[in-house]
Amino acid sequence: MTTGTVIGNDVAYAAELLNRGEVVGIPTETVYGLAANALSKTAVQQIFAIKRRPLFNPLILHMASIEQIDRLANGLPKPALKLLEHFSPGPLTILLPKNKLLPGEITAGLPTMAVRIPRHPLTLALLREVGYPVAAPSANPFGYISPTRAEHVAKMFPEALKYILDGGECTAGIESTIVGFPEGVATVYREGVITTPEIAHIIGPVRKHDGHKPKAPGMLPSHYRPNTPVILCEDPEAELPKYATDKVGLITYNRYAKQLPKDRQILLCTDNDWAGAARNLYAAMHDMDERGYRVIIIRKLPEKGLGISINDRLIRAAAK
């Protein structure tokens, strides 16, 4: 791979680049992000350009503390504070009314901002070092598979980034759960690492956002997509006979399918370790997408707990 990108763990250097208005790859516990100073319009514009992200899609802000969030919010509703106190630092993003300190570019003109406190020691150190909010969407070209390793980021952006802060493999592996409070009603906008019942356990009943009016790219029908077509199915052994075995790869869990050599299969987890499946999902998709298969068959997970969040990504990855 020819790449001018340096991968390392120098937080001070990453901070220096952010201070100069540059975009840096950063690790979080969910997926890697493309980070820039959220208070600099030109730095934020670079994120949109590098990611080829439509300008109408708002970015998530990363901050080091609830106090820092409070300084940019126009009020912090009680259930939002309760969730932040319970789950932060962690894979939770909250939508809050923003105040005037924050440039409108980040929220794509919306009156709300998305914020989270990531649980990764290097990125928390970076956020404390720079002191300003850091905007960071997932570090993948718009619509493609999200990255869970620094190498994934380098592969997808071989020219555009000077530096990727290497925090190792993401421990959670899929994106944060997004919760907002439109008209005061707790609403899940994106299923993620923290499940809806876990949210409801802290603040009471939560509704799911109506997917017919997508507000987030993660809610678009097609997203998280490899270049190789994905077939999603419940029973790979019934699906596999439709394809020549040398042209197909299988991502499954628990056990290998009998009809295909094991080196054409990736097991996401053993037993029912769905957190393990989430952690391994995107790396498996990146790996399979490089093999030149005609199709990637993926076995759908049971529709409960984290399986719901993982299936949400798989359905979008398989969408035409």
- List residues binding ligand TXA (CB under 6 A): 28, 30-31, 33, 57-60, 93, 95, 107, 110, 112-114, 116, 118, 136-138, 175-176, 178, 189, 215-218
Could you say which residues in the range 135-174 bind Mg ion, by CB under 5 A? Answer: 138
Alpha helix stretches (DSSP H) within the chain: 11-19, 41-51, 66-72, 78-87, 121-130, 150-156, 196-203, 236-239, 274-289, 306-318
Q: How far is the CB of 253 from ligand TXA (least distance, A)?
A: 22
Contacts with 283 (C-beta within 8 Å, 6 or more apart), sequence order:
148, 149, 152, 169, 173
Residue 300 token pair: 């759908």
Q: By C-beta, is 33 or 249 nearer to ligand TXA?
A: 33
Strand boundaries in 124-260, DSSP class E: 134-135, 163-165, 177-180, 187-190, 207-208, 230-233, 248-252
Give the SS3 label for residue 34: strand
Give the SS3 label for residue 234: coil
Q: By C-beta, is 164 or 297 nearer to ligand TXA?
A: 164
Q: By C-beta, is 112 or 138 nearer to Mg ion?
A: 138
Q: By C-beta, is 95 or 257 nearer to ligand TXA?
A: 95
Q: By C-beta, is 72 or 260 nearer to ligand TXA?
A: 72
Residue 145 token pair: 């598979």
Residue 84 token pair: 């932040």
Q: How far is the CB of 53 from Mg ion (least distance, A)?
A: 9
107 contacts which partner out of ligand TXA, Mg ion, none, CB within 5 to 8 A by kind? ligand TXA
Q: How far is the CB of 261 from ligand TXA (least distance, A)?
A: 35
Q: What are phi and psi of 84, to 5 degrees?
A: -60, -45
Q: How far is the CB of 83 from Mg ion (least distance, A)?
A: 21
Chain position whose Cβ is nearest to Mg ion: 138
Q: By C-beta, is 11 or 94 nearer to Mg ion?
A: 94
CA distances from 217 to 76, 204, 225, 316 (A): 25, 27, 12, 11
- The stretch among 67-75, 130-138, 176-184, 206-214 that binds Mg ion (CB under 5 A) is 130-138
310 contacts which partner out of Mg ion, ligand TXA, none, CB within 5 to 8 A by kind? none
Q: By C-beta, is 151 or 175 nearer to Mg ion?
A: 175
Q: How far is the CB of 189 from ligand TXA (least distance, A)?
A: 6
Q: How far is the CB of 185 from ligand TXA (least distance, A)?
A: 15
114 contacts which partner out of ligand TXA, Mg ion, none, CB within 5 to 8 A by kind? ligand TXA
Pairing of strands 134-135, 60-62: antiparallel
Residue type present at position 150? A
Q: How far is the CB of 257 from ligand TXA (least distance, A)?
A: 31
C-alpha to C-alpha distance for 101 and 163, rounded to whole angstroms: 28
Residue type present at position 214? P
CB 157 within 8 A of CB 11: no
C-alpha to C-alpha distance for 105 and 53, rounded to whole angstroms: 13
Q: How far is the CB of 243 from Mg ion (least distance, A)?
A: 30
95 contacts which partner out of ligand TXA, Mg ion, none, CB within 5 to 8 A by kind? ligand TXA
Positions in the binding site for Mg ion (CB under 5 A): 138
